[in-house]
Structure 1
Amino acid sequence: MNAITRPVADIDHEPRRAQEPTTAAAAISRINPFVFGLLGALGVLVALIIGDIVGQLATVLVYIGFAIFLALGLDPIVSFIERRLSIPRGGAVAIVVAAVLLLFAGIILAIVPILVEQISNLIERGPQMVKDIQSSDWYGNLTAQFGTTFEDAAAAVLKFVQDPTNLLNIGGGVLAVGTGIAGGFTGVTIVLILTLYFMASLRSMKRVAARFVPAYQRATFSGLVEDVSGAVGRYVIGQVSLALINGVLSLIMLSIIGAPVPALLALIAFIGSMIPLVGTLSASIVNALICLFAGPTTALIAICYYLVYMQVEAYVLSPRIMSKAVAVPGSLVVIAAVAGGALGGIPGALVAIPVAASVIIIVQKVLFPAQDRKTAPPGVIAR
């Protein structure tokens, strides 16, 4: 049937079909501009609300991140106890949690009484210490060298300390510090509880995460998750091992040289060593400054000890322990730690290296094999 013999209705409808929009862009162009702008504004508003919610939940998200980090770090120990003692996972988790709680309780019982005693002695001996300082040779030398300038500065300090209003201000600052410590204790409790739950359900969490991946990719995804979690666990164990070595050696050395509150200084060394790169150095400086209260000789010995220890840690302990934990090049360790500290402070520095190790694993297991499977199209000469 040609165009001459077609029905009139078909001829009339053919131009209309040609004019109908056939693409999504044409359909969108028919939307009222006001409606389009309203939908865009609603999308921006929803994004702002989500961002505000995430900002308000930042503390909770940090708690969850720390708990997952600790759960992955303790999982190798739980698995080892589970295999060695042939007990259910719940029992292995209970043993690990009990050991961690006993460790914290032992640290608190060892430090708090000594700390309270030192603070009481400082309060009782405060006036006598001021008199001793004023009658010391170095105070007399400074007074003779700087004259009235130094005396005026010392008098201003004494006047500030003796003013009750300033003491109330100091008390308010101490109260704020105490409130912060109480908040930190609450956060630690929440993290420990979440860590307990995550350790108990870590395997089921991995299985649920694998369900979000297509069935033909689940085996690869599960293997990748195990590699990443294993790298994080080995890193946590390696870092804790370095911190424990620093804490124990600091306790022994500081006790020998007669440093004040050696148990507290050992705890500072332990906590500092948990922070990559700058943690050991920062804790060493703090401990050396505290040793000044026992005398310049004690502080000098502490400085010499920490200088030697940092060399041993950097060139002997850390390469041997961390090379078995995470295979991350030294340059990437520095870059990751600095970037993590800049983005997230101390928590960011703590998790930066295992994140870098995880990225390396993903690149080696996913990106490189995908690139290796690609071949040149037909007719293209490979060079």
Structure 2
Amino acid sequence: MSNDADTADRPRAPRWLRPTIIAVLFAIAFYQMSGWLFHNLKGFLGLIFLAWLFSVTIEPIVDLLERRGLRRGAGTGLVMVSLFVLTVGFFALFGTILAEQVAQLLTTLPDALSRVTDWANRTFDTNFKTGDDLLHLTPDTIRDLAQRFTPGVLGVVSTLVGALFQLLTILLFVFYMSAEGPKMRRAISSWFPARQQKVIAEVWETSVEKAGGYVVSRLILAAASTIATGIFLLIIGVPYWLPLAIWTGVVSQFIPTLGTYLAIALPAIIAAASQPLDGVWVVVFGTLYQQVENYVLHPRITARTVSIHPAVAFGSVIVGATLFGAVGALVSVPVVAILQALVESYGTRYALIEQPDSTAPPPDPDSTAPPGPEDPKAR
């Protein structure tokens, strides 16, 4: 009897304790599993998002072809084949020149850096170290570096096979995401109630418009910058004008904030290695072209895209590169553009109240005092 009494008097655990412990354990397990999946699948997820970004970029053209009576799958294939033909045509026209100039540029770049550094030390009385001083290049070190960083035949073949597999994966997902875009949208919407399907459709359209518009505008601006820079470098006689022009166009448009300075630095160094005054002219041209792009080209081309603050864009590139590497850095700005558009569409802003000016003089107490009784002596 005493044992039963002790058991009855012992305090029982609350009913919520066991479900809470189980829920916490499941949450920890889910967190660990999610982190493991993200760590192992982040490369694949980056490829999927890159394919989606490519698909929404060509979706306006596919929609136009579909309205003209062409089936969506055939229209998607036609657009992709056209882009492939244009790429092959570009490399057929400039591939040999580009390959030769890139090889020569990589060979002469260390010497160019050394010559520019020597000129800066003589002109401005500085003490910067040259590339040879930093690397201490000797025949032995060159041989060691070549043996360490030059991959074998098997490594080259495996790298090429991996790159080809990733390219085919992206193209396959691009085709299905573009050709089956409306079906995919309806399939996703069917899992939600009717009142939420309109929101899903609006979010999808906003994402397609902002992401596709951003990529298209950047490609147009990159092409314009490449053509203008190439013509200028060719006119003043800067060597390796084609790879330098492509470098300038791509880097200046797809690396926010710092891209403009990184893009023009390399052509300026190469030009200054041959003729220091040419390096100055390249910097002047880059500065003037940037002003023309900021005030003339950029507002007109990106009129329908989201304008992102440079600090936000730069921060998004850092976060994207940290999470997904080079692919994350490439797609981070369109993601931020989509999020900003959604916040502006569904967020609520309120009018600011007028704050009193602290620098204004205090009001005159006599002028603000209430009128008192009339003085009888004043009569």
Q: Would you call these one fold, judging by a TM-score over 0.5?
A: yes
1:99-152, CA deviations, whole angstroms, 9 ceiling, x for partnerless residues?
A: 2222332444455423553577689999xx99xx99xxx89x97xx99xx99xx
1:355-376, CA deviations, whole angstroms, 9 ceiling, x for partnerless residues?
A: 344334433443449x9xxxxx
For 1:245-264, list aligned pairs within 5 A. 245-264=224-243
Q: Given the alignment of the two structures, is residue 91 of structure 1 paired with residue 74 of structure 2, yes or no?
A: yes
What residue number does 1:225 align with? 204
Aligned partner of residue 255 in structure 2, secondary structure: coil
The equivalent position to 1:244 in structure 2, one of 223, 247, 255, is: 223
| Change in CA separation of 1:125 and 1:277 when aligned onto 2, cut-off 3 Å | closer
Q: Given the alignment of the two structures, is residue 276 of structure 1 paired with residue 249 of structure 2, yes or no?
A: no
| Change in CA separation of 1:156 and 1:230 when aligned onto 2, cut-off 3 Å | closer
Q: Given the alignment of the two structures, is residue 175 of structure 1 paired with residue 151 of structure 2, yes or no?
A: yes
Distance (Å, rounded) in 2 between the aligned partners of 1:268 and 1:119: 11
What residue number does 1:44 align with? 28
Contact persistence 1:336–1:352 (CA under 8 A): no
Q: Which runs of 5+ in 2 are unaligned?
A: 1-11, 351-379
1:322-372, CA deviations, whole angstroms, 9 ceiling, x for partnerless residues?
A: 12233x3xxx42243022022113655544444344334433443449x9x
Task: Give the stretch that moved more between structures: 283-292 or 179-188.
Answer: 179-188
For 1:142-161, list aligned pairs within 5 A. 160-161=137-138
Q: CA deviation at 1:308?
A: 1.0
Q: Given the alignment of the two structures, is residue 195 of structure 1 paired with residue 174 of structure 2, yes or no?
A: yes
Contact persistence 2:54–2:174 (CA under 8 A): yes
Distance (Å, rounded) in 2 between the aligned partners of 1:125 and 1:226: 49
Identity of aligned residues (%): 24
The equivalent position to 2:60 in structure 1, one of 67, 70, 76, is: 76
CA RMSD of aligned residues (A): 4.2
What residue number does 1:114 align with? 97
Q: CA deviation at 1:205?
A: 1.5
Q: CA deviation at 1:41?
A: 4.3
Distance (Å, rounded) in 2 between the aligned partners of 1:322 and 1:249: 19
What residue number does 2:312 align with? 336
Say how many residue pairs are matched. 324
Distance (Å, rounded) in 1 between the aligned partners of 2:347 and 2:264: 42
Q: CA deviation at 1:206?
A: 1.3
Q: CA deviation at 1:179?
A: 8.4
Q: CA deviation at 1:54?
A: 1.3
Distance (Å, rounded) in 1 between the aligned partners of 2:64 and 2:335: 24
One-letter code of the match for 1:230? Answer: E
One-letter code of the match for 1:319? Answer: P
Q: Which runs of 5+ in 1 are unaligned?
A: 1-20, 372-383
For 1:125-164, list aligned pairs within 5 A. 160-163=137-140
Distance (Å, rounded) in 1 between the aligned partners of 2:105 and 2:286: 27
1:9-66, CA deviations, whole angstroms, 9 ceiling, x for partnerless residues?
A: xxxxxxxxxxxx9xxx94334x4xxx97577446423421331121011100111111
The equivalent position to 1:303 in structure 2, one of 275, 283, 286, is: 283
Question: Higher relative contact order at CA 8 Å, sep ≥6: structure 1 or structure 2?
Answer: 2
Distance (Å, rounded) in 1 between the aligned partners of 2:159 and 2:281: 32
Task: Give the stretch that moved more between structures: 308-317 or 228-237.
Answer: 228-237
Query: Would you tell me which structure has more helix in proportion to its own residues?
Result: 1
| Change in CA separation of 1:27 and 1:155 when aligned onto 2, cut-off 3 Å | closer
Q: Given the alignment of the two structures, is residue 57 of structure 1 paired with residue 36 of structure 2, yes or no?
A: no
Contact persistence 1:260–1:293 (CA under 8 A): no
Q: CA deviation at 1:174?
A: 4.3
What residue number does 2:15 align with? 27
Aligned partner of residue 76 in structure 1, secondary structure: helix
Contact persistence 1:333–1:353 (CA under 8 A): no
Contact persistence 1:231–1:357 (CA under 8 A): yes
Q: CA deviation at 1:263?
A: 1.9
Task: Give the stretch that moved more between structures: 249-258 or 166-175.
Answer: 166-175
Q: CA deviation at 1:236?
A: 1.6
Contact persistence 1:78–1:89 (CA under 8 A): yes
| Change in CA separation of 1:39 and 1:87 when aligned onto 2, cut-off 3 Å | closer
Contact persistence 2:234–2:241 (CA under 8 A): yes
Distance (Å, rounded) in 2 between the aligned partners of 1:264 and 1:124: 14
| Change in CA separation of 1:154 and 1:99 when aligned onto 2, cut-off 3 Å | closer
| Change in CA separation of 1:77 and 1:259 when aligned onto 2, cut-off 3 Å | farther
